[in-house]
Homo-oligomer: A and B are copies of this chain.
Amino acid sequence: MTNRAMNFYAGPATLPLAALERARDELVDFDGTGMSIMEHSHRGPSYDAVHSEALSLVRELLEVPDTHRVLFLQGGARHQFAMVPLNLLRDGQSADYVDTGSWSAKALGEAKLVGEARLAASTKVDGVYTRIPTQSDLDLDPKAAYCHITSNNTLFGTQWHDYPDTGDVPLVADMTSDLLCRPIDVSKFGVIFAGAQKNLGPAGVTVVIIREDLVEGGRTDIPQVLRYKSFADKDSLWNTPPTFAIYMLRNTLAVAKERGGARAMRAAANERSSMLYDVMDAHPDFFRCPVEEESRSIMNVVWRLPTEELEKKFLAEAKERNMVGLKGHRSVGGLRASIYNNCEKAWVEALAGFLDEFRVANG
């Protein structure tokens, strides 16, 4: 056992130790081939088995129906902010965007460079977001090409717990920071995308789950590399994929499966986040959680202490305890614990204990 840091970074995030050890043990010689998996051709049998297993694990763990394709792309969510409108938004159409944080605002900005896009709702008040809109808050265009949401907001610590009903309009969800934290009904979505670097694996690969008819009906007047269909038609081997990132995603998802899959992930995430929210709720005079209770994220817990000096002191003392990544995003300040799927329960227990100790010592 190494002296593992208690890693609360918002992403790239911690990975299962077993997934890393597996990678280490076969890094130089994969499966007796005398080559690293990084050195294998993406058209050869060794990599092909890894690639297929990774695709199958996504499908199995998220119960992806036959109506939807699973793709491995590159470029992260930001690349999807462009690919979605480029593929799905045609002249004369408009797309709806629900603004719940800086990532959805960025997605809307990118869509406006491609075509017509409008705000279907925003929960921004005085520059901050403390809640997810309700269905009645949404001003949906029934003719929209699609409706885009960000399922979990890493900066502001909010998360959709009941997805909106968009009728026949395809629902597009950026699930970068919470895909696989719980079971979802994939059939209700047109497109789900997620950079892997929170729950699924390392940075460098993006998982896209897209309904077959949206693949087939995608625009063909855009570059091939920007079309979902290019990748869908070739099982994400249209060009050289990021082979090692997909290999690590395979290792990470294999651990998720062993741990019980999406249902077990939800139970564990609820448990982890409750440990933190409970200790804070018990002393609202000392801990200020800005997010409305029903919108709280089970992935990113954000809070403030009475003063910025205390926040600095907290970070310094946390570091001494081998807890890293607890600083809030530079644009919002405060403190944040990112407790994604691969964050160990023991780390969160330790953090909850430290929160209480710190309050007693400084409250």
Which A residues are closer than 8 A to B by beta carbons? 2-5, 7, 9-15, 17, 20-21, 23-24, 27-29, 33-36, 38-42, 44, 74-79, 81-82, 86, 109-110, 113-114, 195, 197, 202-205, 221-226, 238-245, 248, 322, 324-325
Is the pair B4, A34 in contact by a Cβ cutoff of 8 Å? Answer: yes
Is the pair A243, B202 in contact by a Cβ cutoff of 8 Å? Answer: yes
* Interface residue from B15, B23, B34, B203 paired with A241 (Cβ < 8 Å): B203
Is the pair B15, A24 in contact by a Cβ cutoff of 8 Å? Answer: no
Is the pair A23, B34 in contact by a Cβ cutoff of 8 Å? Answer: no
Is the pair B34, A322 in contact by a Cβ cutoff of 8 Å? Answer: yes
Is the pair B203, A240 in contact by a Cβ cutoff of 8 Å? Answer: yes
List the B side residues contacting A245 at CB < 8 Å. 204, 242, 244-245
A204 (CB) vs chain B CBs: closest residue: B242
List the B side residues contacting A195 at CB < 8 Å. 240
| Interface CB pairs A-B, < 8 A, 5 | A3-B29, A24-B28, A38-B202, A76-B240, A244-B248
Bound-state CA distance A9–B38 (Å) is: 12
| Residue with the highest number of chain B CB atoms closer than 10 Å, among A82, A243, A245 | A245
A17 (CB) vs chain B CBs: closest residue: B28
Task: Report, nearest first, the 6 A-B pairs whose CB atoms are least far apart.
Answer: A204-B242, A5-B34, A82-B223, A74-B74, A24-B27, A38-B202
Main secondary structure of the interface of A (DSSP, over half): loop
Say how many copies of this protein the assembly contains. Answer: 2
Is the pair B29, A223 in contact by a Cβ cutoff of 8 Å? Answer: no
A85 (CB) vs chain B CBs: closest residue: B223
Is the pair A34, B226 in contact by a Cβ cutoff of 8 Å? Answer: no
List the B side residues contacting A325 at CB < 8 Å. 41, 44
List the B side residues contacting A243 at CB < 8 Å. 12, 202-204
Is the pair A35, B7 in contact by a Cβ cutoff of 8 Å? Answer: yes
Bound-state CA distance A5–B44 (Å) is: 14
A75 (CB) vs chain B CBs: closest residue: B74
A206 (CB) vs chain B CBs: closest residue: B74
Bound-state CA distance A12–B12 (Å) is: 24
Bound-state CA distance A224–B241 (Å) is: 23
Is the pair A240, B3 in contact by a Cβ cutoff of 8 Å? Answer: no
Bound-state CA distance A285–B70 (Å) is: 50
List the B side residues contacting A35 at CB < 8 Å. 4-5, 7, 14, 324
A74 (CB) vs chain B CBs: closest residue: B74
List the B side residues contacting A197 at CB < 8 Å. 240
* Interface residue from B113, B224, B239, B324 paired with A221 (Cβ < 8 Å): B113
* Distance from A327 Cβ to chain B, minimum over Cβ atoms (Å): 10
